[in-house]
Chain A
Amino acid sequence: MKYFSFFFVLAIAVALAVAVSVPLGPIPPLAPLLDPNHGFWQNTLSEDALAEEELELENLSAPVKVVYDENLIPHIFAENESDLFRAQGYVTAQHRLWQMEFQTRAAAGRISEIVGPVALELDRMTRRKGLAFGADLGLKYLQENDPEIYELIEAYSDGVNQYIESLSPARLPVEYKILDYRPEPWTPYKSILLLKYMSDMLVGDRDLEYTNLRAILGEAGLSKLFPEFPKENDPVIEAERVWDFSPIAINKPDSTGYPDQALVMTPLPQPTEGTGSNNWAVAGKKTKNGNPILANDPHLSLNLPSLWYSMQLTTPDHSVKGATLPGALGVISGFNQNIAWGVTNATKDARDWYKITFQDESRKAYKYGNEWRQADFRIEEIKVKGEEVFLDTVEYTHYGPVVYDNNFRSDRQDVNFALKWTVHEGSNEQRTFIMMNKAKDHADYNAALDHYTAPAQNFVFASRTGDIAMRIQGKFPLKWEGQGKFFMDGADPSMEWQGYIPFDQNPNTLNPERGFVSSANQHPVDPSYPYYVFDNSYEHYRNRRLNRRLRELEGITVEDMKALQFDDYHLQAAEALPVMIQLLGDYQTDNQEAQKYLSELKSWDFYADPNQKAPSLYAIWSSETMESIWRDLVSQPAPVVRPNSYQTIELMTLSPTDTVFDVSSTPAIETAAYHVKAGFDTLLVAMKKWEMEEGDYSWANYKRTTIQHLVPNFKSFSVSNVYTGGGSGILNATGSRHGASWRMVVELGEEITAFGIYPGGQSGNPGSKYYSNFISRWANGEYLNFNLRTKDQKDGVLFETTLK
């Protein structure tokens, strides 16, 4: 009996212990998660409560001092670069390990490993686009051509790995505990992959849609609705710029082999609308103190943990501060004792598609001119949590991977299209940032940029010696006019890119007469630039508002520049609304509600401030009007893009009776007024519903800016309904899910004065008080002091740690 009772109770105890240690379906093991000594309760502790005076970090040549300011911004003081980046890796991992790992797993197409089959389609696509392939080449390129940078990346990886090894179960980031997996070692490959991932986030193409539009509208219709330059072009490089170089000649083939029928395929996901950025620099002659001032605010998805992590990195030779990307070395947007720089996305069709004709079913060879070329195969092994490994075979042509084929995203059509993209080439972006961090003047800045390939960026620059500059840097293919706008025939060698624009012929400007340089993702240049420039997503509003203000302003102060980053002026509404009101005429005059909304719109000053009601009304009315105008066009089975808002508004303004406004399914001839009225009717219906269900329709409440955790299901780790203004196409580009992911203003005087902020916090731990503590200040347009600190500065220190 006593034997029985012992073994019986023992069995219960063991069974209980096992039951709470294994996952039950989607529920993670309970005990490791709930155990207060190791589970999520340990993640309630903030970094200051866990501060250590000394931590062990091997392979350093000298001790490294890390000083955290009151915002938990680390200031790393190292004796040399190798120690500096080792420490950067270690410190970044301390605060952002889960995010670094998660983002690179996403970039590698390995999310299914963590979350199971729901992510398989996403992973397949990531891999078919060839990001990992590009990172492989990037790694090889560094090992062969730049051992110096490779060693620094290795030092960074070593720092990250030493942190991972020292990690106790209690300190494991809470996301690992919930999703029940562990960090794996970091590698230089992952740092390179991260930069490729940035390309993926920022670069899109609409070749599929344009191919379809060309088939549907014809060349003439296409150039009417999609002109390559807007009427009021206010480009990145000032229009007055004289191009003093002789361009390389490009041969346009006599006949162009485009697929002519409309293609029914699911397009790849594009960078979300609202992804963009502003940057500018004003010369001393326009500022109050006579010093150049530089400003930068990249607009990206608003996420937690924030994409950015602030740091100061100091060696005896230089001291640089600003925003870093967890996983990459150095500062990406920032300043040092001598210069400041910033980045905005320089979209310019860097992805092209080629139709591939395989010889036979085996797909081993494809037609190229008069020969059959061998294709390579890359077998993508995708691990899937709780399921068997998924194998995806991707053919690689000399153009690049065959992304679309008969088993991926082609709607029953037997088509094969290969993607050519600069991201598939070996490149050395990391060197650019490491050199930029140490740059002392304009020559150093240019030298740093000479190593930069993708994603192309508008690099703004200002120096303490008074220079301001802008250079659009990336590897841009030489294209004949129209090349790469549509899918091309890969069997025809004359469809190839004919090389690249030499870097010294990339658009750039130094100290222009107008006293400022600026960029806001608009057209890079004026039509006088001798190379073909095309992209579907150029901005038409932020750039004009920005340049207008910069032209007007004199005696500029840092405060003026902060105000400009937070500027809520809605230029699109200012141009479109009067036209819409005029086209509406006396429609719905006896409807009281309609008159209430109209009078709110009529009295609007066009600022999309959070408490204003008109921006919500305008947002609905304008989008419904455009929806109505282009309904015929987008109802095709083949995917297309709509003409942009700028073009639509121009048509409504200048030619309201144009045939594009006619709805083909009705016998009557419709004009722009018809669509404006239809949009207005929808507005009334939408507002009735909104007022009944939600009540308040002030702008902040309507747009509901949300800063979302990287795992969208983790709703309680997100911050929603942030009270702030702005929106897409507005300098303060804060929409509901996108916006200024980092704001920086730097005055380059004798002493550098710098301010910065981002919508998040330094800690990646949702339980920490430093996780989201910047958000309310960011939402109010406030900034943190970002001045450089010295090693022994005592004020505002949260704690100090020595790594040795």
Chain B
Amino acid sequence: MKFMLLTLVSILLVVFLGPFVPFWGLMIGIGLLSFLIDPKGIGAFLGGALGMGLGWVGISTYLGLTSASALPDQMGELMGLGSGMTLVALVGVLGFLLGGFSGLTGVLFRKMLRPTEKNIYRG
């Protein structure tokens, strides 16, 4: 559940805060969200990864489709990557990795701060 929540909130963050901060601002933001939501390790990674990856894929696809601009294809050709679709995939992978490690960092930070649990029943 917490994974789903992190994914959703990260997407919102990417879409609404994204225009105002550089990409590393989003990484800090996702780390912070992950810290607050506190999902499990793998959930934190995937939540951040899908949040930023899907967010970026969504925005780039939206821009490409609504503007009907030839620029994504031209950029793909320029970078030797073929079409604009390849670039959308590349943006997705990039967002996935950046978001994922940000999410994981956030939750690990929380774990680090949490006092070490002592088993009071067995102690």
Contacts and interface: CB of A to CB of B under 8 A. Distances in A.
Interface of A: 2-3, 5-6, 9-10, 12-13, 16-17, 20-21, 30-32, 34-38, 40-46, 49, 169-170, 174, 178, 714-717, 766-769
A37 B59 contact: yes
B102 interface: yes
Interface string B58-74: 01100110011111111
B112 interface: yes
Interface of B: 14, 18-19, 22-24, 27, 31, 56, 59-60, 63-64, 67-75, 77-78, 87, 90-91, 94, 97-98, 101-102, 104-105, 108-109, 111-112
A323 B40 CA distance: 63
A16 B108 contact: no
A753 B109 CA distance: 72
- Interface majority SS (helix, strand, loop, mixed), chain A: helix
B64 to A, nearest CB: 6
From B14, B71, B77, B90, residue with most partner A Cβ within 10 Å: B71
A72 to B, nearest CB: 15
Contacts of A31: 23-24, 94, 98
Given A5-B108, A12-B101, A32-B23, A178 B71 contact: no
A2 B108 contact: yes
Contacts of A35: 18, 22-23, 56, 91
Given A31-B23, A35-B23, A35-B56, A44 B108 contact: no
A6 B109 contact: yes
A35 B63 CA distance: 12
A102 to B, nearest CB: 17
Nearest 9 pairs of A and B residues by beta carbon:
A767-B71, A44-B69, A716-B74, A13-B101, A36-B59, A37-B18, A36-B60, A44-B67, A716-B77
Contact of B63 (A20, A36, A174, A717): A36
Contacts of A46: 67, 69
23 contacts: A6-B105, A6-B109, A9-B101, A20-B94, A20-B98, A31-B94, A32-B22, A32-B23, A35-B23, A35-B91, A38-B23, A40-B72, A41-B71, A42-B63, A43-B71, A44-B63, A44-B67, A44-B71, A169-B22, A174-B75, A716-B74, A716-B75, A766-B71
B28 to A, nearest CB: 10
Contacts of B59: 36-37, 41
Nearest to B70: A767
A36 B56 contact: yes
A5 B59 CA distance: 33
A181 to B, nearest CB: 17
A13 B102 contact: yes
Given A9-B101, A36-B63, A716-B78, A30 B108 contact: no
Contacts of A5: 108, 111
A715 B76 CA distance: 12
Given A34-B90, A767-B71, 17 more contacts: A2-B112, A5-B111, A6-B112, A13-B31, A13-B105, A35-B56, A36-B63, A37-B59, A38-B22, A43-B71, A44-B69, A45-B69, A46-B67, A46-B69, A716-B75, A768-B69, A769-B69
Contacts of B74: 716-717, 766-767
Contacts of A169: 22
B117 to A, nearest CB: 11
A178 B67 contact: no
A2 B112 CA distance: 5
A3 B111 CA distance: 9
B87 A6 contact: no
B97 A16 contact: yes
Contacts of B31: 13
A5 B108 CA distance: 7
Nearest to B59: A36
B70 A21 contact: no
Given A13-B102, A17-B98, A34-B91, A41 B60 contact: yes
A35 B94 CA distance: 9
A180 to B, nearest CB: 14
A251 to B, nearest CB: 60
B33 to A, nearest CB: 14
A6 B77 CA distance: 40
B78 A715 contact: yes
Given A2-B111, A17-B24, A45-B63, A37 B19 contact: yes
Nearest to B75: A40
A17 B27 contact: yes
Nearest to B68: A769
A767 B23 CA distance: 22
Contacts of A2: 108, 111-112
A702 B101 CA distance: 55
A6 B63 contact: no
Contacts of A34: 87, 90-91, 94
Contacts of B19: 37-38, 170
Given A2-B112, A20-B94, A715-B77, A767 B67 contact: yes
